[in-house]
Amino acid sequence: MFHNTYISDGTIEENIAFGLPSDEIDHERVLEAAKSSTIGSY
């Protein structure tokens, strides 16, 4: 199955928390999301 991928010009953290203003990003939630996906191993 193919899908379109969108990556913004922001940081990896901003891309994981896509749509949230930088000052509202929960760093722990971003870390958990990264760990639960394969991106956590990069």
The whole-model pTM stands at 0.69
Q: Is residue 4 part of a domain?
A: no
At residue 40, the pLDDT reads: 64
At residue 8, the pLDDT reads: 81
Angstrom distance (rounded) from CA 17 to CA 14: 5
Task: For residue 28, give the H/E element and its range.
Answer: helix 27-36
At residue 1, the pLDDT reads: 66
Q: Is residue 26 part of a domain?
A: yes
Q: Is residue 31 part of a domain?
A: yes
Angstrom distance (rounded) from CA 16 to CA 18: 5
Q: Is residue 6 part of a domain?
A: no
pLDDT tens track for 1-42: 677 877 888 999 999 999 999 999 999 999 999 999 888 676
Domain that holds residue 17: 12-41
- The set of residues, in sequence order, having a beta carbon less than 8 Å from that of 34 and lying 6+ positions away, is 12, 16, 40
How many structural domains does the chain have? 1
Q: Is residue 18 part of a domain?
A: yes
Q: Which of 23, 22, 40, 41 has the alpha carbon at shortest distance from 31?
A: 40
At residue 42, the pLDDT reads: 65
